[in-house]
């Protein structure tokens, strides 16, 4: 049954990509892939993000692998960006099995870079005041880049460099990394230890504290 679902999503991806043209990247992630670092089983117009079949998960997919299935919801029309600076309008749709467990992700990433450039030009004529903008998430090329991006996000959330972090700050950062699925990446523990200047024993203690704090909330 799962293979039939994946085959359907492959054909659907092809149809959507042909319908909307070369700026529309469509990706199918198999959440039951044997290797969690290689979830892409189909991709159309992969030149948009520079990815191919066999590449690893995005931040959204990695978090899905780690999260409580009941808390996963489709994410529509949000901004992402590629490593070379393209701005994409993205949607992520979860497919579930008969038990309600997420089994695959159907993702659409439309390159809006040209449209945004035109929009910004028009704003020069029509804007009356500055308005807040959302910072798009980066779509990583591989799991190594994804892990680095997640670590950088954890530092931004804490709001201070590692050298100035207290124990509580590091617990908060590591809690974020755990919730984001960072520890699903091979050898991520050692890299995180090196980044935060802690031992693996300390890392496990911080993880326990972060989980306890999360459950307390």
pLDDT of residue 212: 85
pLDDT at 24 > cutoff 60: yes
Mean pLDDT of the chain: 87
Domains and CATH numbers, the chain: 2-116 (3.30.450.20), 142-216 (no CATH)
What are the pLDDT digits (tens) for 135-188?
677 777 788 888 888 998 999 899 888 888 899 999 999 999 999 888 888 889
pLDDT of residue 129: 55
Dihedral, 79, 80, 81, 82 alpha carbons, nearest 10:
-150
Residue 103 CA to residue 18 CA, distance in Å, equals 25
The answer to whether the CB of 77 falls within 8 A of the CB of 91 is: yes
């Amino acid at each position: 049954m799962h293979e039939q679902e994946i085959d359907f999503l492959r054909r659907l991806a092809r149809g959507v990509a042909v319908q909307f043209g070369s700026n529309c990247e469509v990706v199918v992630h198999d959440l039951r892939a044997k290797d969690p670092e290689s979830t892409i089983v189909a991709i159309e117009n992969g030149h948009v993000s520079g990815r191919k079949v066999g590449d690893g998960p995005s931040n959204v997919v990695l978090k899905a692998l780690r999260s409580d299935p009941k808390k996963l919801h489709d994410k529509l029309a949000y901004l992402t960006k590629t490593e070379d600076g393209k701005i994409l309008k993205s949607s992520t749709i979860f497919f579930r099995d008969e038990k309600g467990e997420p089994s695959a992700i159907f993702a659409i990433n439309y390159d809006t870079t040209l449209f945004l450039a035109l929009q910004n030009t028009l704003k020069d004529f029509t804007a009356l005041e500055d308005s807040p903008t959302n910072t798009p998430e980066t779509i990583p090329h591989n799991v190594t880049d994804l892990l680095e991006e997640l670590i950088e996000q954890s530092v931004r959330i804490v709001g201070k460099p590692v050298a100035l972090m207290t124990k509580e700050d590091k617990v908060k950062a590591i809690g974020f990394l755990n919730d984001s699925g960072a520890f699903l990446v091979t050898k991520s523990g050692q890299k995180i230890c090196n980044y935060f200047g802690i031992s693996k024993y300390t890392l496990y203690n911080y993880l326990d504290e972060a989980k306890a704090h999360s459950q307390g909330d």
